[in-house]
Amino acid sequence: MRIIVTGGSGFVGTNFVDYALIKKDKILNIDIKPPFKKDHYEYWKECNIMNYKELERLVVDFKPEYIVHLAAKTGAHAITDINEFAPNIDGVINLINALIKLNEAYPENLKRVIFTSSLLVCKMGYIPKYDTDYMPSTAYGMSKVEGEKIVRNWKNLPFEWTIIRPISVWGPWMGEPYLNFFKAIEKGLYFHIGRGHYRRSMGYVENIAYQIYSILLAPSEKVHEKTFYVGDPEPTDLYTFAEMVREKLNAPKIRKMPLWAAKSLAKTGDLLKFLGWKNVPLTSFRLNNITTEYVFDLSPIMDICNGYVPYNWEVAIERTVEWYKSTYRK
C-alpha cells in the first residue's frame, strides 16, 4: 500500500510508521518536524499543512492510496483562543483540497482517509450519546469539533473517510502527561490521590497503530463515514496501572495523598502556572483529569479488529519501560 501519514514524526505517527514499515508499505511522512527515529528520515518530507501549495505538491507527486491524517496543533488547556489551533481547522481544509486535486490527476487512486480527532470534543467525563453530541470545554477541543464538522459536511468527497478519537494514549515516544507520570513514579514523586482507584479507558500506542491499520483494510460498509474511539478494549484502574509501572521501573513505594490535600496543592499549582512556571506538577485541571472516571465503548473498533490487539497491559508496560530506560537513563 502507498500511505501518506501527516504528523508521522509525532508520538502516534512514529508508532504507526513503524507498523506500516513492518508491513512493507510505501510511506511518506509529511510533518513540520523531523522524525524521532533516524531510520524514519528517508520517509520524511518537511511541510507545514498550512502551506497549501507544498502540501498539494507532495500529495499529488506521491499518489497515495491511503491517508492517515495525524498532524495537529496541540496545547494546554490554558490556551483559550481557538485561532491558536488553526491547523486543526484550516489544515483539514487544505488536506481535503489537496486530495481533491489528487483525485483529479489520478481518479480512483485514493481509497480511504482517516482523520484524527480527539476525545476532547467532549469535556472530560462526558460520554457522548452519538457521534455529533459535542461538548468541548477547551479551545483545543473546539478546534477538533470544527475539524470533524468540516469532514462530515463536505459534499461529494471523492474518497471514503473515517474519523478516529484516540483515548488517553501512552507508550514509546510519548510526551506529556504520561511521560511525566512515568518520571514521577520513578522518582517517588507520584501519589495515589484520594482512593486512587479511578477507572478509565486508555490506549497503548502500538495497539492504536494496529487499530488504525485495521481501519485502512476494513470493508467499506464497516468504516466509511463512521467514527471510532480507539484504545484498549478494557478500562484500567489507575491505581493498578501506577503500581505495575512502579514495579517494572523498580521505583520507590507509591505514597497516598488525601483528596483535600491534593486540592490545596492544585490551587497553589494554578497560581504558579499563572506566574509563569510551565511544568507545574499539579494543577486543578490536572487533578480533575486524574480523578475523573471515563469508560468508552470500544466494541466498534474491536469488531473491526476481530477482537484482537497485539499487546496486553503487562507487555505494553514492559515495552514502554524498556523505551523509557533507553531514552532517559543513558
Which amino acid, 299?
S
What's the pLDDT tens digit per position in 213-258? 999 999 999 999 999 999 999 999 999 999 999 999 999 999 999 9
What's the pTM? Answer: 0.93
In order of start, what are the domains of the chain with their CATH numbers?
Answer: 2-166 (3.40.50.720), 168-203+232-296+307-330 (3.90.25)
Residue 162: the pLDDT is: 98
Confirm if 201 and 207 have CB atoms less than 8 A apart: no
| Helix, strand, coil abundance in the chain, percent, nearest 5 | 45, 15, 40
Nine-digit cell at 149?
464538522
> Sign (positive/negative) of CA torsion 10, 14, 16, 21?
positive
Residue 114's Cβ-count burial label (10 Å; 0-12, 13-18, 19+) is buried
Residue 77: the pLDDT is: 65
Residue 330: the pLDDT is: 57
Angle between helical axes of 52-62 and 90-105 (0-180°, round to 10): 40
Query: What are residue 164's DSSP bridge partners?
Result: 116, 228
Q: What are phi and psi of 243, to 5 degrees?
A: -70, -35
Helix (H, G, I), strand (E, B) or coil at 11: helix
Helix (H, G, I), strand (E, B) or coil at 158: coil
Nine-digit cell at 221?
460498509
**What's the per-residue H, E or C state across 73-132?**
CCCCCCCCCHHHHHHHCHHHHHHHHHHHHHHHHCCCCCCEEEEECCHHHECCCCCCCCCC
Low-confidence ranges of the chain (pLDDT < 70): 76-78, 330
Confirm if 152 and 132 have CB atoms less than 8 A apart: yes
Residue 81: the pLDDT is: 86
